[in-house]
Protein backbone atom coordinates (compact mmCIF):
# COMPACT_ATOMS: atom_id res chain seq x y z
CA UNK A 1 0.00 0.00 0.00
CA UNK A 2 1.40 3.39 -0.94
CA UNK A 3 1.36 6.05 1.74
CA UNK A 4 -0.02 9.40 0.49
CA UNK A 5 2.46 12.21 0.76
CA UNK A 6 2.47 15.97 0.44
CA UNK A 7 5.15 17.90 -1.36
CA UNK A 8 4.67 21.58 -0.81
CA UNK A 9 6.46 24.81 -0.19
CA UNK A 10 5.10 25.98 3.14
CA UNK A 11 4.77 29.75 3.36
CA UNK A 12 3.06 29.77 6.74
CA UNK A 13 2.09 27.15 9.31
CA UNK A 14 -1.32 28.83 9.53
CA UNK A 15 -2.18 28.11 5.89
CA UNK A 16 -3.91 24.80 5.02
CA UNK A 17 -1.65 22.19 3.43
CA UNK A 18 -3.16 20.09 0.64
CA UNK A 19 -2.54 16.33 0.77
CA UNK A 20 -3.82 13.51 -1.43
CA UNK A 21 -6.54 12.82 1.19
CA UNK A 22 -7.63 16.40 1.96
CA UNK A 23 -6.42 19.66 3.49
CA UNK A 24 -4.81 19.81 6.93
CA UNK A 25 -4.11 22.72 9.27
CA UNK A 26 -0.87 22.54 11.24
CA UNK A 27 0.66 24.48 14.09
CA UNK A 28 3.90 26.37 14.71
CA UNK A 29 5.76 25.48 17.90
CA UNK A 30 9.16 26.98 18.72
CA UNK A 31 9.61 28.10 15.11
CA UNK A 32 8.83 24.66 13.63
CA UNK A 33 5.72 23.79 11.62
CA UNK A 34 4.14 20.44 12.43
CA UNK A 35 1.10 18.46 11.35
CA UNK A 36 0.03 15.81 13.85
CA UNK A 37 -2.38 12.91 13.87
CA UNK A 38 -2.87 12.64 10.10
CA UNK A 39 -4.27 9.15 9.40
CA UNK A 40 -2.47 7.03 6.82
CA UNK A 41 -5.02 4.19 6.84
CA UNK A 42 -8.70 3.59 7.56
CA UNK A 43 -9.55 2.72 11.19
CA UNK A 44 -9.49 -1.05 11.87
CA UNK A 45 -13.13 -1.56 12.89
CA UNK A 46 -15.63 -4.37 12.47
CA UNK A 47 -14.53 -7.12 10.11
CA UNK A 48 -11.32 -5.29 9.22
CA UNK A 49 -9.94 -5.36 12.77
CA UNK A 50 -7.51 -8.21 12.05
CA UNK A 51 -6.93 -7.47 8.36
CA UNK A 52 -4.06 -5.47 6.93
CA UNK A 53 -4.29 -1.69 6.60
CA UNK A 54 -6.85 -0.31 4.16
CA UNK A 55 -6.50 3.07 2.42
CA UNK A 56 -8.07 6.00 4.26
CA UNK A 57 -11.06 7.43 2.37
CA UNK A 58 -9.96 11.02 2.97
CA UNK A 59 -11.97 13.98 4.23
CA UNK A 60 -13.88 16.92 2.78
CA UNK A 61 -13.43 19.52 5.53
CA UNK A 62 -10.18 21.10 6.70
CA UNK A 63 -8.66 18.65 9.21
CA UNK A 64 -7.15 20.01 12.43
CA UNK A 65 -3.62 18.55 12.62
CA UNK A 66 -2.44 20.71 15.52
CA UNK A 67 -2.59 17.84 18.04
CA UNK A 68 -2.47 14.04 18.11
Q: Residue 13 has what pLDDT? A: 78
Q: What is the DSSP letter of 28?
A: E
Q: Residue 26 has what pLDDT? A: 92
As a whole number of Å, the CA-based R_g of the chain is: 14
Query: CA–CA distance from 55 to each of 4, 26, 34, 59 (Å)?
Result: 9, 22, 23, 12
Q: What is the C-alpha to C-alpha distance for residues 63 and 56, in angstroms, rounded to an integer?
A: 14
26-38 core/surface letters (b: 16 or more CB in 10 A; e: else): beeeeeeeebeeb
pLDDT in tens, 38-52: 998 998 888 878 888
pLDDT in tens, 7-37: 555 667 778 889 999 999 999 989 889 999 9
Amino acid sequence: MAVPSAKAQVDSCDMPLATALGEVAGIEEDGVCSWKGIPYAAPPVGGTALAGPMPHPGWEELRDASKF
